[in-house]
Structure 1
Amino acid sequence: MKNSIFTLAFITLFASAYSFAQTKSGDGYLPSVTNQPGKEFPSVNFEGKVRAQILAPSATDVRLDIGGVKYKMVKDKDGLWTGESGPQDEGFHYYQLNVDGASVPDPGTKYYYGAGRWGSGIEIPASDKEIYTLKNLPHGLVSEKIYFSEITQAWRRCFVYTPPKYLTETNKSYPVLYLQHGSFEDETGWATQGHANLILDNLLADNKAEPMIIVMDNGYAYRPEELEKSKSGGRPASAFEDVMMTEIIPMIDAEFRTKTDRTQRAIAGLSMGANQTMRICMNNLDAFASYGGFSGTSNYPSSDEIDTARFLDGVFDDGASLGKKMDVFFLSMGTKEPDPFPGSIGAFKNMLNKQGIEYEFYESPNTAHEWLTWRRSLYQYAQLLFKK
């Protein structure tokens, strides 16, 4: 495996075709693909500007809150407020409307769980959207699996992607990728905002990836006594690693046709999920042979040199030994990632280089800490898995 940087071939945003069901307005705005059926707003133009509307006759101040900026909206005589943002980066973005100081979802969009709430999301068409576009080709199935966790003493669920032909070729078993979301998101993220199923469907149709099962669970898991601590202001200790290793994986292996050798099991996550899956993988190398960290690795100051003798119980101290155990070690980030991600990921790469540990590195052009970075990362990572 060579230490390399992947590149995507892009056409310009101006040349990309927006595939919306509704018609184009006179000034170039098109309804967003994330709109509820029949809704004209919010809409997006070729510059990536977002236009929103909301009927609020009694309101005195309404703003479009997107990308960390609140844009003023203007009310007409009928109480209809309209406003537009500056150009946004291509890809998916959470946003909301602020009505007289109260932040509310836009009633024109579908709702997504992110930023710790159910709220609005909008898609700025990307130049490479073909990698996650719904196409007329064989599709896999995303199913919901509900289970009771003895560790957390609570009902939980995961979403499981099974590839095309899983239901018809019943004598075949599959490798498994465990794929985790980021902070203030949940198990719905990868199948909705992330389009993980469509990415794999498209890769499989192009013979660019091996058929695999993908399991997407909720990274927030706590024992009851830890949740009690949080009520008094303490920070509960996560039990997700134990849930993953003693409940989720055995359940998936028992109920789905999986290949259970470590070389047939991979794990990956974005941001918080990259940190969680790093620890799960490195603490359980008998269970995983491939790791993917999207926009994250593990929590430590980027200015510090990593003490490999102590970090994660010294698993990185013997680079040669770890390198032999890993089939794929993949890192990625967007070229516009905010601090502290460039520094912390850079420090981690420096440690891997120093220890002689081979890895793959991908940079998503012109994206930050957002879903287009992670969609592209999955697209690259999935092509590397289960090849040996």
Structure 2
Amino acid sequence: MKNQSYLLVLLLALISTWGFGQTEGHATVKEDFKPAVTNQPGKEYPQVNSEGRVRARIKAPEAQKVQLDIGGVKYDLVKDENGVWTGESAPQDEGFHYYQLNIDGASVPDPGSRYYYGAVRWGSGVDVPARDQDFYALKNVPHGHVHQILFPSESTNTSRRAYVYTPPGYDTDPSKKYPVLYLQHGFGENETSWPNQGHANLIMDNLIAQGKTKPFIIVMTYGMTNDIEFGKLNEFDITPFQTRTYR
């Protein structure tokens, strides 16, 4: 009798554990997905829900396998009878993420997303709304300008491009002097990163309008002085980057 009671308790424990595992493995996904703000105009996908999951969709009737590749993790998409593949990621951290679709082994951009330069390539990006997104939101405040400047680089013997933010009112007084911030991108990005996905100009516009900073100029240019492969940052030659020419 004692053995039977022990077996019954053990069986109930196993059933309870198995049931909990099943629940964890089949977590309910909140169906409150909305198109990402980083989508191309009029595109419904990718979408993001309140949990931070990213849902991708693409029509590829001849494909055998399609995955969403985000954050270094690949998520399988499921094909319907019309050849449309749909699936979502696990919850992602708040903020901007680079991602791509993997179709039968080929990594390609998502046609629904705007294109951004990151991870040493032009590709897709998706913004998971952040709780503090108000500081970089587009608001009805005076706006500065982002100028594209082309210039020759003597230290690298190449032609370079910089994006320069000038604050509101900059053009009204040519004699006025402003502090200058040289803002560099992260590895794998370029001079487009801060003015595009980084919203540097909107951040500045909002801070100036709120009186939280004095106006200043921001120079955003390409920080790599030699071409290196992904994963070989130790081969970056910083010497030309440190070169300064006074005129």
Please state which band the TM-score falls in when normalised by the shorter chain.
0.7 to 0.9
Using a 3 Å threshold, how does the CA distance of structure 1 residues 205 and 236 change in structure 2: closer, same or farther? closer
| Partner Cα distance (1:129, 1:236) in 2 | 33
| Partner Cα distance (2:94, 2:186) in 1 | 20
| Partner Cα distance (1:146, 1:170) in 2 | 21
* Corresponding residue for residue 193 of structure 1: 197
* Corresponding residue for residue 185 of structure 2: 181
Match of 1:208 among 189, 209, 212: 212
Using a 3 Å threshold, how does the CA distance of structure 1 residues 49 and 236 change in structure 2: closer, same or farther? closer
* Corresponding residue for residue 246 of structure 1: 245
SS at match of 1:180: coil
User: What is the one-letter code of the residue matched to 2:245?
Assistant: T
How far the C-alpha of 1:221 sits from its partner, in A, is 1.3
Using a 3 Å threshold, how does the CA distance of structure 1 residues 180 and 174 change in structure 2: closer, same or farther? same
Alignment of 1:237 onto 2:237: yes
* Contact 2:93–2:128 (CA under 8 A) maintained in structure 1: yes
User: What is the one-letter code of the residue matched to 2:166?
Assistant: T
Deviation per residue, 1:32-64 (Å, 9 max, x gap): 000000000000111111110111111100001
* Contact 2:225–2:236 (CA under 8 A) maintained in structure 1: no
* Contact 2:143–2:167 (CA under 8 A) maintained in structure 1: yes
* Corresponding residue for residue 81 of structure 2: 77
**Counterparts in 2 of 1:134-153, with a 5 A limit?**
134-153=138-157
* Corresponding residue for residue 156 of structure 1: 160
SS at match of 2:245: helix
* Corresponding residue for residue 99 of structure 2: 95
SS at match of 1:59: coil
* Corresponding residue for residue 44 of structure 1: 48
| Partner Cα distance (2:42, 2:236) in 1 | 44
SS at match of 1:96: strand
| Partner Cα distance (1:162, 1:53) in 2 | 39
| Partner Cα distance (2:220, 2:63) in 1 | 41
| Partner Cα distance (1:201, 1:215) in 2 | 15
How far the C-alpha of 1:111 sits from its partner, in A, is 0.5
* Contact 2:48–2:55 (CA under 8 A) maintained in structure 1: yes
Deviation per residue, 1:345-383 (Å, 9 max, x gap): xxxxxxxxxxxxxxxxxxxxxxxxxxxxxxxxxxxxxxx
Paired residues, number: 214
Structure 1 vs Structure 2: percent identity of aligned residues? 59
| Partner Cα distance (1:94, 1:150) in 2 | 33
As a proportion of its length, which structure holds more helix? 1
| Partner Cα distance (1:150, 1:194) in 2 | 28
User: What is the one-letter code of the residue matched to 1:246?
Assistant: T
| Partner Cα distance (1:37, 1:241) in 2 | 41
* Corresponding residue for residue 126 of structure 2: 122
* Contact 2:224–2:236 (CA under 8 A) maintained in structure 1: no
Deviation per residue, 1:287-336 (Å, 9 max, x gap): xxxxxxxxxxxxxxxxxxxxxxxxxxxxxxxxxxxxxxxxxxxxxxxxxx
| Partner Cα distance (2:77, 2:236) in 1 | 41
How far the C-alpha of 1:168 sits from its partner, in A, is 1.6
SS at match of 1:246: coil
| Partner Cα distance (1:147, 1:88) in 2 | 39
| Partner Cα distance (1:41, 1:179) in 2 | 32
| Partner Cα distance (2:134, 2:237) in 1 | 40
Alignment of 1:35 onto 2:39: yes
| Partner Cα distance (1:235, 1:88) in 2 | 31
| Partner Cα distance (1:183, 1:149) in 2 | 20
How far the C-alpha of 1:236 sits from its partner, in A, is 6.0
| Partner Cα distance (2:83, 2:74) in 1 | 20
Using a 3 Å threshold, how does the CA distance of structure 1 residues 55 and 159 change in structure 2: closer, same or farther? same
User: What is the one-letter code of the residue matched to 2:53?
Assistant: K
Query: Structure 1 unaligned runs (5+)?
Result: 1-25, 251-388
How far the C-alpha of 1:235 sits from its partner, in A, is 3.8
User: What is the one-letter code of the residue matched to 2:177?
Assistant: S
As a proportion of its length, which structure holds more strand? 2
TM-score w.r.t. the length of structure 2 is 0.82
| Partner Cα distance (2:106, 2:201) in 1 | 35
How far the C-alpha of 1:151 sits from its partner, in A, is 2.1
| Partner Cα distance (1:237, 1:46) in 2 | 43
Larger Rg: 2
TM-score w.r.t. the length of structure 1 is 0.53
| Partner Cα distance (1:241, 1:144) in 2 | 23
